[in-house]
Amino acid sequence: MAQRRLPKPRDLAPLIRFKRPQLNGKTHRLEAALTIEDLRRIAKRRTPKAAFDYTEGAAEAEISLARARQAFQDIEFHPQILRDVSSIDTSLDVLGGRCALPFGIAPTGFTRMMQTEGEFAGAAAAGDAGIPFALSTMGTASVEDVARANPTGRNWFHLYMWKDRDRSMALVERAANAGFDTLLVTVDVPVAGARLRDQRNGMTIPPALTARTVIHAITRYGWWIDFLTTEPLAFASLDRWSGTVAELLDTMFDPTVTYHDLSWIKDQWPGKLVVKGVQSVEDAKRVAELGVDGIILSNHGGRQLDRAPIPFHLLPDVVREVGNDTEVHLDTGIMNGADVVASLALGAKFTLIGRAYLYGLMAGGREGVDRAIGILASQIERTMRLLGVRAIGELDPSHVTQLERLIPRVDRSYRPRK
Ligand SMILES: Cc1cc2nc3c(=O)[nH]c(=O)nc-3n(C[C@H](O)[C@H](O)[C@H](O)COP(=O)(O)O)c2cc1C
């Protein structure tokens, strides 16, 4: 039996470490967030339901997104021991430029609806972190505004080809003039996916003040104050729209776009060209044959075809087929820096984050985006060190095993389609 005694003040003194209280509520909140999931929880508390669901939601039963995240969880890392990892380098060359970290910010529409600082926060934070920022055609800041927010960093522009080709290309020309160095052409939206959360919420752009939204807004007054006291929310590159997102997409987007149009765009764009939304080995080969600079394996964060292939599973086959001549990037489901490291180990050249950045934005504007980037960066560094890897180029498939679950039963590595 242990002998008990009363503690003496000199025993207690070394244990007492009262922290100076953090008086800034936002900083306090963000410092307490250790993961992207933590940021997500803060974001949910602070953002009106329609805007939060628009961001977080995916298509139909949201199976694609859940599977993509599961695929990252279903990996095993294989560390190499006894290596000096006292200093490591997370930087790499991507599409002709240097990036400080192996991920960039994916294009997202209506970003100022999530939090009023929107693309301004994203572009400025990306610039300061030394990573690229991609602006969406459906963005709520203009190409010129983004160039001003991120004057020394890399800006990429994302194009949805819409029915009015001349207007699409006029926009692309503006992006080139504003110094955007890369064009991402998204090819997985011939029509809009069924975002059921948006339909259930009656989501319109901008959000409507119905009785339900007003009641729900009571605990999210900060968002509404920002929304009502800053520049009105509008598409920077499109006309005003007062319908639902799906109606807008279906009215604008051109389901007749084909490979021929890609070549046509390529002839007009002076910078690097990347095709976003590739989802099979066959299409990756066809796109690569057009001589594009990169492809992004992506199912649009699960927002288009539900039960689409998991990009992370396609990765090894696609890299084997086209990776020597074309950069293979990946997105969908990344919530942790370890997901990024696993993707690089299996051959991805680069990754993009959508929701991980938007959760940060909704949790705390610019500071929240900084926090999201910081969390992912520290997870990447720690994972690399624990794997015994000092530079991105040292990562290879021997560092990762995909544990078998949700792996296709038939070998689909290459079957030409009729
Ligand atoms: C709210 C939201 C809006 C998006 N808007 C666009 C868009 O306008 N164009 C596009 O190509 N992709 C868009 N995406 C898809 C992202 O570029 C990216 O592919 C996806 O978010 C990656 O998955 P993750 O969110 O799991 O990281 C959007 C994604 C979200 C979450």
pLDDT tens-digit readout, 232-244: 888 777 766 666 7
- The pLDDT tens digits for 324-371 are 999 999 999 999 999 999 999 999 999 999 999 999 999 999 999 999
Buried b or exposed e, range 147-167, using 16+ CB within 10 angstroms: bebbeebbbbbbbbbbeeeee
- The pLDDT tens digits for 25-65 are 999 999 999 999 999 999 999 999 999 999 999 999 999 99
Structure tokens at 344: 């690089």
Q: Is 77 exposed, middle or buried (0-12, 13-18, 19+ CB in 10 A)?
A: middle
- Is 67 a pocket residue for ligand 1 (Cβ < 6 Å)? no
Region 400-408 average pLDDT: 85
Residues whose CB falls within 8 Å of the CB of residue 354, separated by 6 or more in sequence, listed in order: 106, 108, 301, 331, 332
* Closest-lying ligand 1 atom to the alpha carbon of residue 65: 26
Among the listed residues 300, 313, 329, 399, the single catalytic one is 300
Which residues partner with 295 through β-bridges?
Answer: 275, 328
- Is 57 a pocket residue for ligand 1 (Cβ < 6 Å)? no
- The pLDDT tens digits for 180-211 are 999 999 999 988 899 999 989 887 766 666 77
* pTM higher than 0.85: yes
- Whether 300 is catalytic: yes
What is the structure's pLDDT at 206? 64
Indicate which residue's Cα is closest to atom 1 of ligand 1: 55
pLDDT at 298 over 90: yes
The residue among 278, 266, 269 whose CA lies nearest residue 332 is 278
What is the structure's pLDDT at 308? 98
The beta strand positions in 173-259, using DSSP E, are 182-186
CA atoms within a 13 Å half-sphere pointing along the CA-CB vector of 233: 25
Pocket test for ligand 1, best of 300, 340, 369 (most atoms within 8 A of CB): 300
pLDDT at 413 over 90: no
Region 249-265 average pLDDT: 84
Q: For all residues of the chain together, what is the average pLDDT? A: 92
